[in-house]
Amino acid sequence: MPEQIKVAIAGLGAIGFAVAEALDSGTIEGMTLTAVSARDTARAEARLAAFRAPVPVLPLTDLAETADVVVECIPASNFAELAESVLGRGRTLLPLSVGALLARPELIDLAQAKGGTIVVPTGALLGLDALRACAEGPVDSVTLVTRKPPGGLAGAPHLVDNGISVEGLTEPKLVFEGTARDGARGFPANVNVAAALSLAGIGPDETALQIWADPTVTRNTHTVTVEADAARLTMTIENVPTEENPRTGKITALSVLATLRRMTGPLRVGT
């Protein structure tokens, strides 16, 4: 990495804008915001006008030409287009649509061939460092149980395709049980955490996932259980949602910032 790392952001929603603000403020030493992309260019330009150093709003595939690192905060449907342009130029991609990566394993080969790098932030989960350590030895099982307010799951492809309603619930309802790969496909906007967990551990086809629509919770809650030769892990995180998008936890943007800071910091803590 160069001494001054240039960062571009794909998507200017709750996460992307928070990251952009932090970069513009100079709180991450050694990093500079160089460009963003957004569906509504005029609105994005208006929001950026108040920045200390406003940057251009570019098409997705042009971001990698301006940056060393591209942070992906866009709908999964646009993930492959962006990832190919970034990795094909040998840049570093920080993806939040991790579930989309499971469906495109050739992107990892592209990164290797072109000298690019995929760095997956921990996001709204926990314990990836411990799981990665355990995965250096035998791991018997990895299970993720996700509980979300019903409204946060409404409209997910799995629910629509199977005629599952989450309206008017008065008690928790199990709406999915299967592998992390199938869960990421059926809930592309909801369980990128399952994809990240599977990549850190024993893979998307061996990682078990349950998703509950739970009217008794107000926070997106994830419980990870790992049975391994080195340790038994049980970890739960309850994420405070952002005001702009209740499906997104505040910690997700902070995780991106921590990942960026780790790239330039003289001290790195954790596996």
What pLDDT, on the 0 to 100 scale, is given for residue 190?
86
Q: How confident is the model at residue 242 (pLDDT cuts 50, 70, 90)?
A: confident
Q: What is the pLDDT of residues 168-214, one digit of tens each?
A: 999 999 999 999 999 999 999 888 999 999 999 999 999 999 999 99
The residue annotated as part of the active site, out of 91, 147, 181, 222, is 222
Residues of the chain with CATH 3.40.50.720: 5-124+251-264
CATH 2.60.40.10, applies to 128-246: no
Residues of the chain with CATH 3.30.360.10: 128-246
Write the CB contacts of 162 (distance below 8 Å, at least 6 apart in sequence). Answer: none
Alpha-carbon 238 to chain mean position: 16
Catalytic residue check, 222: yes
Q: Which fold has domain 5-124+251-264?
A: Rossmann fold (3.40.50)
Alpha-carbon 180 to chain mean position: 14
- For the chain, report the end-to-end CA distance as a whole number of angstroms: 20
Q: How many whole angstroms separate alpha carbon 197 and alpha carbon 146?
A: 12
In the chain, what are the helix, strand and coil shares in percent, each to the nearest 5?
Answer: 35, 25, 40
pLDDT above 70 as % of the chain: 99
